[in-house]
Structure 1
Amino acid sequence: MLRKKIVLTGGGTAGHVMVNVALIPKLKELGWEIVYIGSHQGIEREIIGRIDGVPYYPVSTGKLRRYFDWKNFKDPFHVLKGIWQAYRLIQKEKPAVVFSKGGFVSVPVILGAWLNGVPSVIHESDLTPGLANKIAMPFATKICLTFPETKNHVQADKAVYVGAVIREELKHGSAERGRRLCRFAGKKPVLLAMGGSLGSKTINDALRACLPALLSEFDIVHICGKGNVDSSLIGQQGYRQFEYVNEELPDLLALADLVVSRAGANAIFELLALRKPMLLIPLSKAASRGDQILNARSFEKAGYAAVLMEEDLTDESLPAAIRRLYENRDRYRQNMERSGNNDPLQTLLSVIEDTAR
């Protein structure tokens, strides 16, 4: 009989956790016992810590950088320590399968599973795999893909196209609750701006620089990241700042008429599922491996989003791009309606259960 126990892992950013958050209630309904392995201080510990019935075990990890840093000389030892800790935890817990959403903490866990002979499933969000997943993929049993094009970058016999997994609660937000939370009068369209779970100083600064121009046309909800609230703008009519939102996010998304966002895969597929016209400002290659640029261009080509490159972001270009997006909002919504309504979450659950068997 299948031992219905699963280890989940993934962290570093909210994007590497939220698919796990979507999976947990469904796994519980199916009778799975769930254990989470994450880092000591990553955002995953805070997010998973709010979920009842999911024990959390931290392991040592290190960031695998593509640039010179003195920490590159000691972090491999943290990773090796993490592999040993994950190996012992998996040996003790004896799961039927391990599921990874990625991030550097997932590398020790996937390797620990492989050393124990436990099958594992990785979910890759971006169009091209990140460094952590590239390292872990040879040791995984199955690799689930968000973009069909990613099949060109992974081992063909392991690849399964699943699509983007969306948290069910995001579909049940209330625009009225969001309006009350923000204390908006409801007379203007609402612009939601966010820069990922850690915030974006570039987007924050550009948005605030053109607030007077935008507030004449829009009410603005700004999720600006921890420590990034501008105290001088508290109380500004039509402008509401949040460091980070959790339970409130479905209501704020329901309230939004259009969204300015980074181009992390989880975020943009959530906006696609909710049919929100979006202006994507991907991280530049100077600050990333370029994965967000590929994500954004894919959505732009499909007609789901407008794109403004970070190097083109100015006090003039941002308001102009937002106005064009609003003028063409119906066209973007129509394109998104044609994107399909398959059930990636159910497909992913089937892959996990089949792999466990």
Structure 2
Amino acid sequence: MKKVMFTGGGSAGHVTVNMALMPLFLNEGWSVEYIGSAQGIERQLVSSLPEVDYFPISTGKLRRYLDLQNMKDPFKIAKGVFQAYRLINKRKPQVLFSKGGFVSVPVVIGAWLNKVPVIIHESDITPGLANRISIPLAAAVCTTFPETAEQISKAKTRYVGAVIRKELHQGLADKGRKFCGFHANKPVLLIMGGSLGARKINETVRAALTDLSERFQIVHLCGKGQLDTSIRLSGYQQYEYINEELPDVLAMSDMVISRAGSNSIFEFLSLQKPMLLIPLTKQQSRGDQILNARSFEKSGYCKVLEEEEMTATSLVAGVMEVYNKREGFIGNMRKNKQSEALSSVFQLIKETARHR
């Protein structure tokens, strides 16, 4: 049987492309397997596809800052490489597809040691640390932004555009309102701080709830362990994370407050949702979200609010500006030519497997 293996994790952004691709392989009769961490969000998300066999391995985090865990994690990564090597040697996939994140590094090394071809997907303009380590071992690198080719070997680069999950376009606004207990007579504001949540955004949103709730019904995705159960406010619903109901919630939403992870913002672009983007600061990241957000702002898809400038007052002002100018943002997004990225990556993986 034809077999493809996937890896990637640490955040939902390192899993969503895999989630879009795996059903395509299952529908064509492939055996699909996944290597990820034992406790990461990737395990939770992949569990929604019972046909996919999941194999957990030891992982360590690749940090850019000083931390005592940096002394332990190389041993965890080495253990993960050994586990991944043995798994891949035993399971014998024809190809490995990696979405990145720290869990992917030992898996890519394990595949390379087994001479299994690796295809990597990079969502951001500049590759993350995990992908930078893995790219020399890859047969091809699929990119969302054409500028990424300037950062890596052009011979390996395949510019495909944004991979969008098909199910996101199948959401029903009525189902979203029923799920949240909302009505159709008041606009809906969706707040997403990323799959792991964003404490500063959560705190600022809650400080601004009185003003925001006068104009909007609010869906607040807070991240694991960041719910505030003390809040009792009509028209305000908070969840740690939404999976199956997300297409319906997006369908009913009139605008979005979000971080600026590439996968998410391209999905909002595809759905033509006006955005207020609050990218991670350079102190929190390598600055990729700032580049993503500024690129979208230049194209007229969003307004950017820097976290350093975010207060309850500036947040409300930003939301109202985006909402009042929503028709302009939507008009610009309609001009964006949708790529066939999902099909392109699907075909590339199959072609690579055939030529092994």
| 3-state secondary structure, aligned to 1:102 | coil
The superposition leaves residues 96-148 of structure 1 with CA deviations (integer Å, 9 ceiling, x where unpaired) of 10000000111011111111111110000111000000000000100000111
Provide the residue aligned with 1:275 in structure 2.
272
> In the alignment, is the contact (CA less than 8 A) between 1:39 and 1:60 conserved in 2?
yes
Provide the residue aligned with 1:251 in structure 2.
248
The superposition leaves residues 9-67 of structure 1 with CA deviations (integer Å, 9 ceiling, x where unpaired) of 00001111111111111111222211110111111111112211111111111111100
Whole-angstrom CA distance in 2 between matches of 1:245 and 1:289: 27
> In the alignment, is the contact (CA less than 8 A) between 2:275 and 2:301 conserved in 1?
yes
Provide the residue aligned with 2:24 in structure 1.
26
Provide the residue aligned with 1:10 in structure 2.
8
The superposition leaves residues 200-240 of structure 1 with CA deviations (integer Å, 9 ceiling, x where unpaired) of 11111111111111111111111111222211213x11111
Whole-angstrom CA distance in 2 between matches of 1:137 and 1:250: 33
| 3-state secondary structure, aligned to 1:233 | coil
Provide the residue aligned with 2:126 in structure 1.
128
User: Could you tell me how far 1:185 is from its partner in structure 2?
Assistant: 2.7
> In the alignment, is the contact (CA less than 8 A) between 2:98 and 2:118 conserved in 1?
yes
User: Could you tell me how far 1:74 is from its partner in structure 2?
Assistant: 1.6
Provide the residue aligned with 2:281 in structure 1.
284
Provide the residue aligned with 1:344 in structure 2.
341
| 3-state secondary structure, aligned to 1:41 | coil
Provide the residue aligned with 1:238 in structure 2.
235
Provide the residue aligned with 1:298 in structure 2.
295
The amino acid that maps onto 1:163 is: G
1:1-357 to 2 correspondences below 5 Å: 4-234=2-232, 236-356=233-353, 357=355
Whole-angstrom CA distance in 2 between matches of 1:210 and 1:342: 37
The amino acid that maps onto 1:353 is: K
User: Could you tell me how far 1:187 is from its partner in structure 2?
Assistant: 1.7
The amino acid that maps onto 1:114 is: W
| 3-state secondary structure, aligned to 1:154 | coil
Whole-angstrom CA distance in 1 between matches of 2:225 and 2:31: 36
> In the alignment, is the contact (CA less than 8 A) between 1:142 and 1:355 conserved in 2?
no
Whole-angstrom CA distance in 2 between matches of 1:286 and 1:342: 33
The amino acid that maps onto 1:7 is: M
> Percent same amino acid at aligned positions?
57
> In the alignment, is the contact (CA less than 8 A) between 2:124 and 2:292 conserved in 1?
yes
| 3-state secondary structure, aligned to 1:117 | coil
| 3-state secondary structure, aligned to 1:221 | strand
The superposition leaves residues 232-263 of structure 1 with CA deviations (integer Å, 9 ceiling, x where unpaired) of 213x1111111111111111100100000001
Whole-angstrom CA distance in 2 between matches of 1:187 and 1:53: 41
Whole-angstrom CA distance in 1 between matches of 2:125 and 2:333: 19
> In the alignment, is the contact (CA less than 8 A) between 2:160 and 2:339 conserved in 1?
no
The amino acid that maps onto 1:28 is: L
Aligned Cα root-mean-square deviation (Å)? 1.0
Structure 2: gaps of 5 or more residues: none
